[in-house]
Amino acid sequence: MLSKVKSASILGIDAYEVEVETDMTFGIPGFSIVGLPDVSVKESKDRVKSAITNSMIEFPPNQKITLNLSPADRKKEGPSFDLPIAIGILAACGTLNTAKLESYMITGELSLDGSINSVKGALSMSLLAKNLGYKGIIVPFANADEAAVVEGIDVLAVKHFRQVFDFLNGEITLDPHAIDITEVFSRASVYHVDFSEVKGQQHVKRAMEIAAAGGHNIILIGPPGSGKTMLARRFPTILPEMNLAEAIETTKIHSVSGYMREKTALIATRPFRSPHHTISDAGLIGGGAVPRPGEVSLSHNGVLFLDELPEFNRNVLEVLRQPLEDGHVTISRAAISITYPARFVLFAAMNPCPCGYSTHPTKSCSCTPAQREKYMSKISGPLLDRIDIHVEVPVVEYNDLASKAEAETSASIRKRVNTARKTQEKRFEKSGVFFNAHMGPRHTRKFCQLDNDSQALLKTAIENLGLSARAYDRVLKVSRTIADLEGAENITSTHIAEAIQYRSLDREHWKVGI
């Protein structure tokens, strides 16, 4: 007898339908799975048999069982097919009523005792089930909140295989799992750090506000203990709040990667990823035999923080060029090519020299000029070209540390950032540009026109301050953002002057070592 059960698998961050076909005949007992299963799928035969038996259901004896996972030309990974395979076997032998199988998509990993464990990509599968017109989807209880984010489909949460068996046979009913998406989104969009906790560093906070308002990449240069990491961790709190579409897209990426906490429905705060400098290029950009999202994709809609930037391997840093430029990354393998979203703000930090104390007011630097120059040269010109704002971070003064004055909160700064972003949305409407940092030459010429005073100031900076030619466009874009924060229609020399201050690494004293 033949049975068919609808399930799903993940390709990239989206799900595609997989039909689990089970054929059962009398003959020499056997259990084979075809349709490009990986090792974890092949091993499901042992988990399924034990789960069925331990659920007090008889496993069909003396049967030759053949399972096909269709489409057969795509690699199937993971244990999420355990539950549909078990259902398919019992349906094929006539133990299970098949009337409801056409209405539901089924996914879940089975334990030997019949309990059902969580799977990756439940949100993507739930979206697929809705788009294909299914009445509902049966998911592990641990994935219920995540799957229930999708409205207009019944999400049936199950903890044990016996529940599914009895439900499909009409012996019990399962109520659809529902959540209040507004309440969940509100609860999940709370940050646990705030800019008010940072003492001093007003000019650095100003630069970070500009970076947030224009979507500019930023790098902080300063001695150890000056607060670079503390500032970086609070940067997402001043970015505009995520909307529901961004939250769902971000959640999909983290879900297929297996980074969703149990009973977590949505990721509604801007992601903040901080990989160690020993990370490989595949870990950063994504990879594997079947490509998985890397840190750049896990940072999508958020912040990628690279601390001690020169300590990263040069080949690792070079792979950042495509996502920084395009907002996505394409990973190609012999059998498949997958594109992941990767639109993030790069936030980097570094010491001014190998020992870190060349700019410290009291501690002496032990590095030679050659060591400093070698250290700075680890950051390539093409990568530096994609970082709009460079800020020197000084040591925090004692008076600032001991001050009891209330610092400005993240919420207050975010209001100004939101206002500037709305101005940019209106300016770039239907142009495919999201922020000032994404402007191309055509947009720069149109929206960054300078008066005579501004042109003279920028010319002087390039000629006399050692600024490179590549800094020209960056200064214009940052100036446009500064003007937006002030509500100014045109860029003035004041905006240009401030933007010039944020090009520290283009100056000659950094190139030759301080």
How much is the pTM? 0.91
Angstrom distances, CA of residue 63 to CA of 46, 86, 240, 246, 281:
15, 14, 59, 49, 48
Looking at residue 114, its pLDDT comes to 96
Residues 460-477 have pLDDT tens digits of 888 887 777 677 888 999
CA 362 to chain centre: 40
> What mean pLDDT is predicted for residues 397-410?
80
What band does 512 get if pLDDT is binned at 50, 70 and 90?
A: very low
Residue 143: which of 71, 129, 112, 133 has the closest Cα?
129
> What mean pLDDT is predicted for residues 26-49?
88
Residues 272-321 have pLDDT tens digits of 999 999 999 889 998 877 788 999 999 999 999 999 999 999 889 988 98
Q: Which two tokens stand for residue 282?
A: 């595949």
From CA 324, how far away is CA 316, in angstroms rounded?
Answer: 13
- Residue found by looking up tokens 């897209």 in the block: 249
Asked if residues 216 and 437 have their Cβ atoms less than 8 Å apart, the reply is yes
When mean pLDDT is compared across 30-39, 167-176, 234-243, the lowest value belongs to: 30-39
Looking at residue 461, its pLDDT comes to 85
Q: What value does the CA radius of gyration of the chain take, rounded to a whole number of Å?
A: 28
Neighbours of 290 (CB within 10 A): 17
Give the helix, strand, coil percentages of the chain, each rounded to 5.
40, 20, 40
Tell whether the model's pLDDT for residue 513 goes beyond 50. Answer: no
Looking at residue 514, its pLDDT comes to 45
What is the enclosing helix (H) or strand (E) of 230? helix 228-234
From CA 491, how far away is CA 488, in angstroms rounded?
Answer: 7
Tell whether the model's pLDDT for residue 55 goes beyond 90. Answer: yes
Name which residue leads in pLDDT, 400 or 351.
Answer: 351
From CA 475, how far away is CA 498, in angstroms rounded?
Answer: 9
Tell whether the model's pLDDT for residue 26 goes beyond 60. Answer: yes
For residue 511, the SS3 value is helix
Name which residue leads in pLDDT, 361 or 342.
Answer: 342
From CA 316, how far away is CA 280, in angstroms rounded?
Answer: 6
For residue 86, the SS3 value is helix
Residues 114-139 have pLDDT tens digits of 999 999 999 999 999 999 999 999 99
Q: What mean pLDDT, rounded, does the chain reach?
A: 90
| Structural domains of the chain sorted by starting position, each given as residue range(s) with its CATH number in brackets | 2-179 (3.30.230.10), 188-426 (3.40.50.300)
